[in-house]
Structures are given as C-alpha cells and as structure tokens.
C-alpha cells in the first residue's frame, strides 16, 4: 500500500495578512478514497486549488508523484499531464449541450478549429459511460438531467480526460439518499480502477462510509490523517472543531399536556393517515428518507397546504388553517429547510428579516412602523441567540450559515410560538455551529415550547429528541424513544 500517487510537503499560502495554509503535508495513495475534512475556512479549498495548479504556494513546498522528481509548485499544465481533476460543487457543465458534447468537451478546447463529428463524440462518450456503468443517454441535454445525473456526466468527463486523481467538492450536498448511495458505489469502483479520489463532504456519515483515511485541517493547519476504521462521527467532529462538543443525549421523559394533535391527517399523494401528539416542552423527532412526506407534513401543519383528510387539534380544540397567517396567529412557527429561497429574504437587511413576522406589533400606533423599535427588536434577539452580527443593516446574506439560521430562529421566536417546526435546521451549518443551534433548541423546549424536529441525520434526531416518529412512504412506520435504542439502530430503522 505504499504506492503514493501524490505527496505534498510544507505547503503554505498567505493571502494579504492572513495565513490560510500553514506548513500542511498531504499524501494520497494510489486507488484510495481519502477524505479532506474541516470546517468552512479551514483551508480545504485553498489546498485543492494549490494541488490543481490554480494557486501558487509559498516557497519551500515540495510535490512529488510516484517516482518522478519533486517540484516546488504544480502548474495547471502539470496538473493536466498528471491527470489531476477537480469536480467542483457547481460541476461546471454546459447545460445547453448534450451529455456527449459535455463529455468530449476537452477535445473542442484542444483543437478549436477542427470540426468534430457528432457521431464520433457520441461513440466516445458511450464508451466512457459504459466503463462507468451508469444510466446516461449521450443525446440528452444536460439541463434536462437531475443534479445526480449531471454529477455522473462530470465524472465521465474527467474519466475521459484521463483522470488519475479526482477531487470531489461536496458531491453529495444536493442528492437524495439513494443517489448518494449510487455515488458512493461509483466512487468505490473508480478507486478499484486505480484512480485516487479526494472526497470533501460535510456529512460525516458518508465520509466514514466511503473513505479509507481522513485528513483533517483546522484553521489552515494539519491536524492529522487517520484511518476511518474505528473513527466515530463524534470523534471526527471533535478533530475538526478542536472542541469537545458537550452535547449529551436528551431523552427526557415528557409528561406535558398535549399541545398539537394530528388525527388521521392525510394529503393525497404526500402522506396518509398520520396520527401524532405533540406535548408541551417536548422535542418530537420526525425522520424518514427524503420523500417520505416529512416536509410535506410540515407544510400542512404550517397552513401552507390544506390537508385532504383527518383533523388537527390545538390545545384540544379543532384547528383549521387556511394560510400560514392562520398558523402564525395560532402560535405555530416553521423554520424551512430551504433557507436560501424560503427562510430568509437574502438581499434584505438583517433588521428587516428579523422583524418581518411581527410587523403588526411594531406598527403602533397604526400607520407608524418605528425604525427604532425595529432595530431594538433585532438587537435583542441577536443578543439572546448569540448571533455574530457586525451591522444589522447589512444584507442577511452577508452572514455565515449558522448565523443566518439564528436569524431565522429569531424571526420566528419573535412571534412567541407555542409550536416550533424545524425542518432540517442544520442544513449548510458548520459542525461547530450545529451544536450552538441545538443548544438553543433544547433550551426552548426546557422553557415549555413544543418542537417538531425534522431531519434525515439519525445522529441529530437521536441526540436531541424526546420521542422519534419515523415516516415511510407517507405513513408513520415507527414511534420510539431514543433511550431504548442506539444511534446506529435508529439509522438502520430509517434506511430499512
């Protein structure tokens, strides 16, 4: 196993005043799947760009490939010759071109004036597609493909270009669980063909499933490289953040009175016959595979969609929701899984995003919305949720994922809800910031708020729920208490 595909030593990089990479060493074996892990801003991307020839490292670095002589930097030409390729998160495909044209695109670049035969392109693309064993039609336009299929096109493209070392940047970020499984299998088969793969992902469970080793960076420095065998998610996040995350499982027995009751609630084509009771001060974990009806159920509970059957009771009284305004008036708040498009108005200020749910209260007397009161409200919530904000007049998009999520929480907590529905509240949030978000959620429950926590990360659900309901194909398949099972068995139940 000492067959080294790429070795980098003493790699540093300085941008202006800040040292983003400090004396990092990196080693990739032939045919292995290595994970590059670390929080946002730890230097992962910079390292990839140096290894790919985009950035020049500071003097003193040394790069070697197998038996070849060491060099002090990798040029883009060098990277090409060595078969180093990066599949960025945005995939960099041409949506208006066909699958085949995308795959053979490098030929267009290599000889811009030579006419290319469509038939030859299709033939060559088909060979690569067959080699990878994936279901792609060379004639489909890339814009008509799902994200998962587009990713396969990107992989075919680098294979065709003779890739020997492939960096994959957050490849699973927008895939469903099944698609992730397919991708992981393809990754394994590539490595069996002798191609080395560097996998960058925030989802620790995938990292541990597919990678043989994991290299951890923190604040631009190397923490170490570890075999994934025997590594746990908790240990890995500790290495990434450098902090002992002191989250202990919650598992509090809950005896509060029922707040929200669902009786045989259905919505045709989305979920069916769901009966649940949410108690005061309880965190109810709602999980299941993507498409099991979790998000759809949340939308009905928030009044965005009408149920087609069954009934909803709030504090024992029947509740009909005609819109989400009805839900808000009845003390129900909803943190959307889609923070970018639905959770926040990204271009508008932090102040406006926090206040948007309570304009009625701020406009007193009628006809005068006091900017001073609006700022005070935001400042109060920023303080209470420990949000890092320099200037609340700036666009909310200027904040990090974790701080944006705190603003989403703030805008809903400002409505003083009794029931808080959280749909994947830690999507796009750093490992370290996740713990902070859950601290807030647990505290809210302790103060008597009833919380529905939706997530597909078994660890999150297991750690933070008093009770767990597993949905499957739109129906309740299991209801259990976390202290009766282990995290691993919950994962199995979800995937079963």
Under the rule (CB under 8 A), what is the footprint of another protein?
Answer: 304, 323-325, 328, 334, 336, 341-349, 351-352, 355-357, 359-360, 362-363, 367-371, 375-376, 378-379, 382-383, 386-395, 411, 415
Task: Please report how close the Cβ of residue 233 comes to another protein at its closest, in angstroms.
Answer: 28
Task: Please report how close the Cβ of residue 413 comes to another protein at its closest, in angstroms.
Answer: 13
Task: Please report how close the Cβ of residue 263 comes to another protein at its closest, in angstroms.
Answer: 26
Task: Please report how close the Cβ of residue 322 comes to another protein at its closest, in angstroms.
Answer: 11
Q: Alpha-carbon distance 251 to 464, whole Å?
A: 7
Residue 427 in contact with residue 337, Cβ under 8 Å?
yes
- Looking at the Cβ atoms of 204 and 452, the one nearer to another protein is 452
- Looking at the Cβ atoms of 148 and 345, the one nearer to another protein is 345
Q: Alpha-carbon distance 194 to 171, whole Å?
A: 20
- Residue with token string 């749909």: 423
Task: Please report how close the Cβ of residue 341 comes to another protein at its closest, in angstroms.
Answer: 6
- Looking at the Cβ atoms of 87 and 433, the one nearer to another protein is 433
Task: Please report how close the Cβ of residue 304 comes to another protein at its closest, in angstroms.
Answer: 7
Q: What angle do CA 257, 296, 254 make, to 5 degrees?
A: 20
- Looking at the Cβ atoms of 119 and 366, the one nearer to another protein is 366
Tokens encoding 102: 């995308």
Q: Alpha-carbon distance 107 to 115, whole Å?
A: 10
- Looking at the Cβ atoms of 38 and 436, the one nearer to another protein is 436
- Looking at the Cβ atoms of 307 and 417, the one nearer to another protein is 417
Listed residue (475, 473, 454) closest to 464, CA to CA: 454
Which residues lie below 8 Å from residue 362, measured CB to CB, with a gap of 6+? 355, 369, 370, 373, 374, 377
Task: Please report how close the Cβ of residue 81 comes to another protein at its closest, in angstroms.
Answer: 37
What's 75-136 look like in SS3? CHHHHHHHCEEEECCCCCCCCCCEHHHHHCHHHHHHCCCCCCCHHHHHHHHHHHHHHHCCCC
Listed residue (97, 99, 143) closest to 125, CA to CA: 99
- Looking at the Cβ atoms of 261 and 423, the one nearer to another protein is 423
Q: Alpha-carbon distance 404 to 109, whole Å?
A: 41
The side-by-side arrangement of strands in the sheet containing 84-87 is: 84-87, 165-169, 196-200, 33-37, 213-218, 221-227
- Looking at the Cβ atoms of 176 and 415, the one nearer to another protein is 415
The SS3 of residue 287 is strand
Task: Please report how close the Cβ of residue 428 comes to another protein at its closest, in angstroms.
Answer: 16
Task: Please report how close the Cβ of residue 410 comes to another protein at its closest, in angstroms.
Answer: 12
Q: Is the peptide bond before 365 cis (omega within 30 degrees of 0)?
A: yes
- Looking at the Cβ atoms of 147 and 359, the one nearer to another protein is 359
- Residue with token string 């009905």: 300
- Looking at the Cβ atoms of 311 and 360, the one nearer to another protein is 360
Distances (CA, A) of 140 to 109, 132, 443: 21, 17, 51
Which residues lie below 8 Å from residue 231, measured CB to CB, with a gap of 6+? 208, 214
Task: Please report how close the Cβ of residue 430 comes to another protein at its closest, in angstroms.
Answer: 17
Task: Please report how close the Cβ of residue 243 comes to another protein at its closest, in angstroms.
Answer: 16
Q: Alpha-carbon distance 306 to 63, whole Å?
A: 61
- Looking at the Cβ atoms of 56 and 398, the one nearer to another protein is 398
Which residues lie below 8 Å from residue 105, measured CB to CB, with a gap of 6+? 94, 97, 157
């Amino acid at each position: 196993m000492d067959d080294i595909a790429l070795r980098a030593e003493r790699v540093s990089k300085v941008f202006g005043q800040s040292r983003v990479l400090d004396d990092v060493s990196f080693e990739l074996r032939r045919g292995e799947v290595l994970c590059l892990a670390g929080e946002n801003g730890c230097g992962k991307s910079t390292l990839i760009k140096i290894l790919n020839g985009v950035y020049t490292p500071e003097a003193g670095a040394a790069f070697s490939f197998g038996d070849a002589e060491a060099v002090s930097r990798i040029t883009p030409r060098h990277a090409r010759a060595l078969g180093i390729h990066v599949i960025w998160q945005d995939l960099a495909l041409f949506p208006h071109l066909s699958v085949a044209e995308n795959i053979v695109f490098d030929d267009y670049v290599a000889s811009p004036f030579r006419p290319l035969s469509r038939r030859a392109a299709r033939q060559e693309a088909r060979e690569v597609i067959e080699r990878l064993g994936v279901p792609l039609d060379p004639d489909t336009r890339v814009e008509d493909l799902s994200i998962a299929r587009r990713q396969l096109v990107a992989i075919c493209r680098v294979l065709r270009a003779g890739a020997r070392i492939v960096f994959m940047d957050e490849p699973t970020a927008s895939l469903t669980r099944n698609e992730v499984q397919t991708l992981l299998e393809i990754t394994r088969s590539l490595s069996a063909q002798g191609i080395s793969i560097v996998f960058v992902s925030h989802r620790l469970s995938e990292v541990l499933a597919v990678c043989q080793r994991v290299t951890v960076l923190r604040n631009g420095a190397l923490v170490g490289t570890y075999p994934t065998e025997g590594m746990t998610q908790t240990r890995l996040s500790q290495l990434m953040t450098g902090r002992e995350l002191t989250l202990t499982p919650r598992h509090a027995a809950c005896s509060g009175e029922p707040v929200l009751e669902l009786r045989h609630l259905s919505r045709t084509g989305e979920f069916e016959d769901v009966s649940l009771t949410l108690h005061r001060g309880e965190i109810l974990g709602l999980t299941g595979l993507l498409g099991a009806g979790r998000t759809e159920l949340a939308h009905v509970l928030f009044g965005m969609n009408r149920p087609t059957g069954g009934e909803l009771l709030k504090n024992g009284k029947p509740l009909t929701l005609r819109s989400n305004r009805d839900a808000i008036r009845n003390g129900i708040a909803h943190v959307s899984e889609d923070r970018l498009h639905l959770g926040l108005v990204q271009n508008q200020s932090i102040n406006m995003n926090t206040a948007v749910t309570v304009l009625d209260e701020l406009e007193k007397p009628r006809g005068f919305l006091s900017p001073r009161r609006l700022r005070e409200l935001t400042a109060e919530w920023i303080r209470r949720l420990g949000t890092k904000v320099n200037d609340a007049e700036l666009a909310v998009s200027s904040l990090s994922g974790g701080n944006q999520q705190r603003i989403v929480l703030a805008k809903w907590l400002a409505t003083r809800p009794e029931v808080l529905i959280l749909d994947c509240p830690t999507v796009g949030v750093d490992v370290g910031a996740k713990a902070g978000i859950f601290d807030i959620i647990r505290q809210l429950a302790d103060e008597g708020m009833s919380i529905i926590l939706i997530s597909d990360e078994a660890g999150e659900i297991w750690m933070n729920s008093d009770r767990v309901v597993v949905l499957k194909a739109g129906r309740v398949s299991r209801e259990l208490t976390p202290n009766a099972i282990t995290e691993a068995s919950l994962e199995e139940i979800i995937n079963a």
